[in-house]
Amino acid sequence: MSAIPSITELEQAAQWIDESGRCNIGKFYFSQPKWKRGLAIPLVYLPIFTTLPFCALFAFLSKLVLRLSGNNKIPTIRSLMPCWVSHRYTYKNQVTMKPKLVWYDPVSYMDYLRAMKWFWIFNCKMYCPTSVAILRQATTISRAANKETGLVGFLSTALLLPMIPFILLGAYLVTVHLKWLGGHDIKKRSDFAEEDGHNYTSSLLNRTGYVVEIIENWWCPFNHEKKDSYYRGALDSSFWHIFPKYVVELANRDRENPIFSDGQPIKDTRKQVQDSSS
Domain boundaries, the chain: 7-256
Q: Which of 225, 226, 222 is nearest to 260 (CA)?
A: 222
Is the pLDDT reported for residue 167 higher than 50? Answer: yes
Dist. CA 278–CA 264, nearest whole Å: 21
Is 230 within 8 Å of 12 (Cβ atoms)?
no
Q: Which of 231, 205, 50, 47 is nearest to 141 (CA)?
A: 205
pLDDT for 7 = 54
Dist. CA 35–CA 179, nearest whole Å: 13
Read off the pLDDT of residues 207-264 as tens digits, 9 standing for 90 and up.
999 999 999 999 999 999 999 999 999 999 999 999 999 999 999 999 999 999 887 7
Q: Tell me the CA end-to-end span of the chain in Å, nearest whole number.
A: 36
Q: Is the dihedral of CA 278, 32, 230, 73 positive or negative?
A: positive
Dist. CA 26–CA 128, nearest whole Å: 19
Residue ranges of the alpha helices (H) in 148-199?
A: 150-158, 164-180
Is 118 within 8 Å of 89 (Cβ atoms)?
no
Is the pLDDT reported for residue 16 higher than 80? Answer: no
Is the pLDDT reported for residue 3 higher than 70? Answer: no
Dist. CA 57–CA 82, nearest whole Å: 21
Single-letter amino acid, residue 263: G
CA atoms within 13 A on the CB side of 211: 28
Is 148 within 8 Å of 66 (Cβ atoms)?
yes
The pTM assigned to this predicted structure is: 0.90
Is 138 within 8 Å of 199 (Cβ atoms)?
no
Q: Furthest-apart CA pair in the chain: how many Å?
A: 66
Dist. CA 114–CA 277, nearest whole Å: 9
pLDDT for 154 = 94
Average pLDDT of the chain, as a whole number: 88
9 contact partners, CB below 8 Å, separation of at least 6: 228
Angle at 243 between CA 242 and CA 247, to 5 degrees: 95
Is the pLDDT reported for residue 269 higher than 60? Answer: no
Is 230 within 8 Å of 216 (Cβ atoms)?
yes
Instruction: Identify the weakest region by mean pLDDT among 9-23, 46-60, 113-127, 129-143.
Output: 9-23
Read off the pLDDT of residues 173-186 as tens digits, 9 standing for 90 and up.
999 999 999 999 99
